[in-house]
Every structure is written in C-alpha cells, then in structure tokens.
C-alpha cells in the first residue's frame, strides 16, 4: 500500500508557480470545500488552476488519492488503487487547453495554471507519472489474497492493509451500515462492530455515516473472489434515505448539478430533453441520451429516483404520452 511518506517524497521533488506543498490556509480551505475532500484526509500537495489564485478549481494530491474540480463540473477523485490499473493521456480540446484523460473516462484540466510548464518541463505530467509508477509498484508488491476485503451490495473491493483501512474509516470513505469485512483466516464476513482491530481509539474519529459523496463510498480495484473466501451475504440495495434521492425528472437545475458525472451543459440538456419526452422512463435512457459510461450510470442509480414528470401541470402518466402509429 502506498504510504504518506512515499507520496510526500514524490511531491517535494517539484517546484513551480501555482504548485504548493506548503499550502496556504485559505487555498487549503477552499480546496477542501470545493473538491469535497474529507476533513480527516491529509492534503500533501495542491495545484491551483484558478486565474485569481483562490484554488477553487485545481488538483489536490492526498493520502488516499487525487481529488480535483474543473470549472462548471462536479468534483471527482481517483484512489491510488484505481490509478494503479489506469492509464492517463494528455489531449487538447481547443483553445490551447490540455486535458488529462484517464482510461475509464474521468478527466481534468488545469486551464488557469499555464505557468506549470510544457513539454519536458510539464510539472503535472511528471508528477502524475511518478505518482502512477508509485501506485503501480505498491500494488504489485501487495500479494493478492492477503489483507482486508470489503463487500458492498455483493461487490468486493481490496485488498487493503489494516493501516490503510483504518484511514479510510476515519476519513468517512466507508459506509459502515452497508459494508462487510473479511480477510484470510476468518470463517465469514463481519461488520465493523465485530472487528475491534479496526476500531479507532477515539470512537468519535470514525463517523457512522460517510461525510463525503455517498456515490463514492469506496472506490478501489475490484478483486475476483478467492476460492476459499466465503460468499458475502445480501445487503440492502440502497444506502441513501429515499428523501435524499434526487428526482431526476423534476429536480431543479441546482440539484442536478450535485449529481455525479453531470456537468452544467449536461444538466441543461437533461432539463430540455425531459420536457420534450414528458420525463424519462428509466435510467438507461438517461445514460444513453447523455452518452455516460457504465460506471457513471451506476453512480447515478444510487443517487436518483424517477417519478412521473410534472412540468407545469399534473403528473404525466402513460395515457398522456404521445403514441405514434406507423
């Protein structure tokens, strides 16, 4: 598992304008709020991509992974475990703006941080290359089949060493209500309450609910089930209270912008299209309309509900939908 000291050592190799290892407090507070970095998550380095220096857009190198926010987009992050299995390339999308695109579709740009250099002197490219190599090396060094595995709604993640898992719990990355734990030597999956070795000395340090985006409770490399590993018991299909789900057929634009994977442009298109269709019938048609990759449709499914479209009148039923005869 990649360690804090290893990440810090890589980050301290570089010096550039708008790249901070000793981060000013105002920038750090803005980044935590805008990138949705958990309070317990150590921030090791920060790239400020704003023109005026507020750091409300940019990239943060943290203990568990990379957090970032682009102008007009929802915050995103990638864990070191994910990064170890991804590739990243730099592409130009016009106006001289470079985008760093991950192989799973996630992307970011640092349009306001041109001082970081180009070509061989590009600090961002060199930094990401070093961090990716570190993540891949740490993953290769950890033998599959050892360490802790997590089960969430019949999906398994891991393995993690004990120290890393405790950090994830403390940072609010794990919803304890729906997560089960297992490691070699255990006869069955167990809840966190049954595992004192994962309990923090200060019980208050481990919140019972995640403080960050519920769509990213755990983001890690999916590992196939080992032959001797017990099957995870069924878990609840939802982990958000129904009243907290966003009604994607009727929610205002501001609420849609809080959904994972929806940019301002995508949310505006969605509002226009749902009026034209008198509401979407299923999440699959939304994913197809917005051309979302499967992992983003899955994140949406855990955050939204689809109620009859209301518009300016009564709810739309099948009887009110237009039928076209051919």
Give the model's pLDDT for residue 45.
Answer: 94
Give the model's pLDDT for residue 222.
Answer: 35
C-alpha distance from residue 199 to each of 151, 190, 206 (Å): 18, 13, 8
Integer Cα distance of 309 and 285 in angstroms: 15
3-state secondary structure 148-188: EEEEECCEEEEEECHHHHHHHHHCCCCCCCCEEEECCCCCC
Terminal Cα distance for the chain, rounded: 60
| C-alpha dihedral sign at 110, 115, 118, 121 | negative
Give the model's pLDDT for residue 114.
Answer: 62
Integer Cα distance of 48 and 52 in angstroms: 9
Integer Cα distance of 136 and 80 in angstroms: 8
Integer Cα distance of 100 and 106 in angstroms: 9
Integer Cα distance of 117 and 50 in angstroms: 16
Task: Please write the tens of the pLDDT for every residue from 3-29.
Answer: 888 899 999 988 888 899 999 999 999
Count CB-CB contacts under 10 A for residue 212.
Answer: 18
Is there a contact between 256 and 271 (Cβ–Cβ < 8 Å)? yes
pTM for the complete prediction?
Answer: 0.47
Integer Cα distance of 273 and 309 in angstroms: 12
Give the model's pLDDT for residue 314.
Answer: 55
Mark residue 88 as left, alpha or beta (left: phi above 0; alpha: psi -120 to 50; beta: remaining): beta
Integer Cα distance of 90 and 117 in angstroms: 14
Give the model's pLDDT for residue 90.
Answer: 81
- Where the chain has pLDDT below 50, the residues are 120, 140-145, 203-227, 234-240, 318-320, 322-326
């Amino acid at each position: 598992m990649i360690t804090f000291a290893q990440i810090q050592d890589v980050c301290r190799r570089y010096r550039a304008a708008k790249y901070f290892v000793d981060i000013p407090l105002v920038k750090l507070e803005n980044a935590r709020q805008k990138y949705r970095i958990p309070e317990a998550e150590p921030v090791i380095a920060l790239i400020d991509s704003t023109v005026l220096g507020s750091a409300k857009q940019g990239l943060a190198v943290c203990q568990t992974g990379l957090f970032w926010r682009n102008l007009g987009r929802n915050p995103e992050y990638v864990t070191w475990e994910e990064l170890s299995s991804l590739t990243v390339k730099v592409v130009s999308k016009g106006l001289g703006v470079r985008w760093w695109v991950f192989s799973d579709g996630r992307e970011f740009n640092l349009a306001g941080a041109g001082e970081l250099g180009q070509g061989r002197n590009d600090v961002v490219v060199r930094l990401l290359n070093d961090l990716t190599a570190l993540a891949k090396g740490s993953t290769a060094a950890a033998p599959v089949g050892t360490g802790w595995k997590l089960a969430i709604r019949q999906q398994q993640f891991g393995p993690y060493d004990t120290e890393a898992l405790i950090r994830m719990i403390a940072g609010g990355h794990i919803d304890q209500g729906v997560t089960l734990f297992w490691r070699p030597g255990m006869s069955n999956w167990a809840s966190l309450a049954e595992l004192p070795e994962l309990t923090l000395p200060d019980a208050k340090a481990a919140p019972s609910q995640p403080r960050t985006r519920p769509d990213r409770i755990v983001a890690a490399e999916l590992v196939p089930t080992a032959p001797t590993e017990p099957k995870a018991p069924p878990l609840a299909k939802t982990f958000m209270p129904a009243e907290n789900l966003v009604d994607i057929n009727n929610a205002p634009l501001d609420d849609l912008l809080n959904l994972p994977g929806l940019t301002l442009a995508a949310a505006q298109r969605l509002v226009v299209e749902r009026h034209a269709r008198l509401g979407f019938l299923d999440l699959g048609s939304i994913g197809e309309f917005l051309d979302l990759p499967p992992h983003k449709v899955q994140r949406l499914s855990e955050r939204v509900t689809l109620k009859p479209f209301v518009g300016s009148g009564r709810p739309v039923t099948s009887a009110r939908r237009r039928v076209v005869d051919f």
